[in-house]
Structure 1
Amino acid sequence: MSTVYDCSRPQERKDGLAAAASAVRSGQLVVIPTDTVYGIGSDAFSLSAVHSLLAAKGRGPDMPVGVLVGSWSTIDGLVLSVPYQARQLIEAFWPGDLSIVLRHAPSLAWDLGHTKGTVMVRMPLHPVAIELLRETGPMAVSSANRSGQPPASTVDEAREQLGDSVRVYLDGGPSGDPVPSTIVDLTGDEPILLREGAVSIEAVSEALGGVQVGRPR
């Protein structure tokens, strides 16, 4: 049975964040507001929880899950190294609408799908999401919708699609235009734009000091 918490009410927000943190720690799924669209999330280091997330969305490991973090410094413990270009993008756009793909630390015991040794990381610009992430640590998060369906821009849209597969829903109000994050891959010799979303390719290039940003071949 799932529970919805209205985060516009201070006490309900406090109770909802506590319930969501408890759910994540016990391997259950939660839906959270972000600065793009609503996300469905779990403990990034729980194999069963991530598998439950993929099952709730109706998709397989061929479409891996990204990771949200609650602070700049968290990324240092997740990846093999943080190159200078990643620092430039983090300083320019985090918290915000830019996801960065890097080589993950080989010592991490997680399974986010068929990532080929990489991880997509973002710090969202939403106070409810950040507060939860600072309590739980890194979370595996994907858009709160069934695969092939439109992403949810309200908690009600998320509930219609995901139902009781989610333990806690945190209602942060409408997310606005459902524009996804921009994704930049920094695992190769040059930055590659995998998806242009809320942040333009021109803005990414400017943040990198004018470096040309390629597109997938």
Structure 2
Amino acid sequence: MRKIFAASAAAALAACALTATPTQAATITTAGTGWKLATQLGVTSASPSQTYTVTYQSDAIRQFYAPQIQRAVDQINSSTDLDLAIGGVEAMEPNACGPDFHIQVMELKNPMGDGHPGWSQGMPCPNPAQGVSRGGIVAMNSTYRSGEWNITQETLQNTAVHEVLHAVGLDHPNVDVDKDGTVESYECVATSYGNKPIMCSPNGGYSTWNNVGKLLGYDINGLNALIANARAQGIQ
């Protein structure tokens, strides 16, 4: 199960080095069918020119999680104008964002507290300059790798991708599908085959091995919206 970090400690963040040109009033789109942006953390767009590099707390964590997100990285780079790369190991601080355009993957045991065993967390750095994501933090639950938490390979792979996409700037797209007045877990739009966005909370994505770890069209549309919003503001 996954939820985005609550906005907390990282209040004063370094401004992104971006090139902007004057434009008329920009049209910003923050939600659509099956996707939503992390606007509550001030993220409305992503850089069309910077590479977002996924880095790791240790080599052991890199060896375990880099293969989990490889399919998604390849798909994103071929299907969107977002540039995502798998990087190496660097020092990390759980309560502070790292270098600009880094998505830092670390491990914590039950990062949402012992009352939520088996959950992981991901968040973009809050309130970035001009709303342009500068990367973020992913805290994978250490109980996955230790074997303390029973998680299927399919769920593990979808979870890792889900959290990385949080760090880029996507939020949970759950909506009141059944019109009962409450937005519930797993309540997301689905394809005709019953597949829900990988960003659906608490679980989404494909369950068949041929597609596990890949984004659905809904998720791709969300990433494309992040880039389109930046361009609408004249950000190159």
- Give the TM-score category using the shorter length: under 0.3
